[in-house]
Structure 1
């Protein structure tokens, strides 16, 4: 299993969510095993950092993961993961 750090800019809620994505590649198949939010950075309208918080609770992680999946096309994440795997091979 491999891990990749990425971020998601949730413009609607003025936040940037740092994520760890665990995945496996088997031949031509990529499987995302877990998307784990690690930290949320809140920004103002000028994109200046207001505050940062770590994500600890399971409920908070599930909520952020669900919001990420609704906002971001997983195909885009899969392309990023394949690029990461190629660079780190």
Structure 2
């Protein structure tokens, strides 16, 4: 348990930041899940619209430090490849 005033303030700040990060991570995962569900159904147009909605969310999460930039790029790239493969 924190004793000093500054340590108590830091625990409050950390708790607030953790809640925000958890919300952002959850939002990103929801968008990714929507794309994966659309891919599973085999509907390319639906999957493409879901991907277009998910891409900015994933990159925004990377900007805020929720995921690493390369991790976000890899996620988007792999989802795009899977959506593209539906056309074949």
| TM-score, with length taken from structure 2 | 0.29
| Structure showing the higher strand proportion among its residues | 1
Structure number with bigger Rg? 2
TM-score (norm. length: structure 1): 0.29
Ranked by relative contact order (alpha carbons within 8 Å, sequence separation 6 or more), the top structure is 2
